[in-house]
Amino acid sequence: MANANTNTGNLDPLFHPAAHPAAHYASAGDVLNDDELSVPEKRIILSSWASDMFAMESCPALRAIPGMDRAIRLADILAALRRLDGDDDDPPRGGGVPMRLRRPWAAALRRSA
């Protein structure tokens, strides 16, 4: 059985942003707008950037990508991935329609009236 460490040399360089020209992009938008990259290549780059491996310890909503001069927002990376999927709308809101739970005693009062 192969060890994970022995297989890392076989990975496509796109999986290693610091070792690939992907490190020269300044934003997720730059990746999206690069006509020389295929959609799968863009997805690989953006997905690797979204990885917790690049999360800033003090601010997990930011990613510190090797080779970049500034941190980028995870929200921007995820928005770019949604655009690749053809979903340009705003991200879905959390939760559903708020429901007001009825008080059992209030329902009993209505029935008796």
- Count the Cβ atoms, other than its own, within 10 Å of residue 37: 18
The pLDDT of residue 7 is 38
Q: How far apart are CA 51 and CA 48, in angstroms?
A: 5
The pLDDT of residue 86 is 85
Domain holding 52, by residue range, is 10-90
DSSP state of 105: H
The pLDDT of residue 113 is 60
Q: What Rg, from alpha-carbon coordinates, does the chain have?
A: 22
Per-position pLDDT tens, the chain of length 113: 333 333 344 445 544 444 445 567 889 999 999 999 999 999 999 999 999 889 998 899 999 988 888 899 999 999 999 999 887 655 555 555 555 555 555 556 666 66
Q: Flag whether 74 is in a domain.
A: yes
Q: How many domains does the chain have?
A: 1
Q: Flag whether 81 is in a domain.
A: yes
Q: Flag whether 48 is in a domain.
A: yes
